[in-house]
Amino acid sequence: KKALQSGKNVVSANKKMIATHLEELVNIQQEFGTSLLYEGAVCGSIPIIRNLEEYYDNELLHSISGIFNGSSNYILSKIFNENQSYDV
């Protein structure tokens, strides 16, 4: 918060901080004319935030669904494509 309020641009991959304070941080960046870049903190670092902002800026998205975690994707691919089982 202090960096944004001091006019500094911020890059963060801190998932917990972004998830907890995103709305507040976005408001601060807008108020102080700074940038908050957090793409590394979401979606397994898949470059999705910039694409959503650029291509769907004026459209309201209600949800996005899918598997955005490499480990889960690997396990589910093995289960469905190779009929392997994994004990829980």
- Full 3-state SS string of 17-86: HHHHHHHHHHHHHHHHCCCEECHHHCHHHCCCHHHHHHHCCCCCCCCCCCCCCHHHHHHHHHHHHHCCCC
What pLDDT, in 10s, does the model give residues 23-55?
999 999 999 999 998 888 777 667 777 777 777
Take residue 70 and report the two structure tokens written for it.
């490499």
Task: Map out the domains of the chain as residue ranges.
Answer: 2-82
Q: What is the pLDDT of residue 44?
A: 66
What pLDDT, in 10s, does the model give residues 72-84?
788 888 888 988 8
Spell 40-64 as b/e; 16+ CB within 10 A means b.
bbbeeeeeeeeeeeeeeeeeeeeee
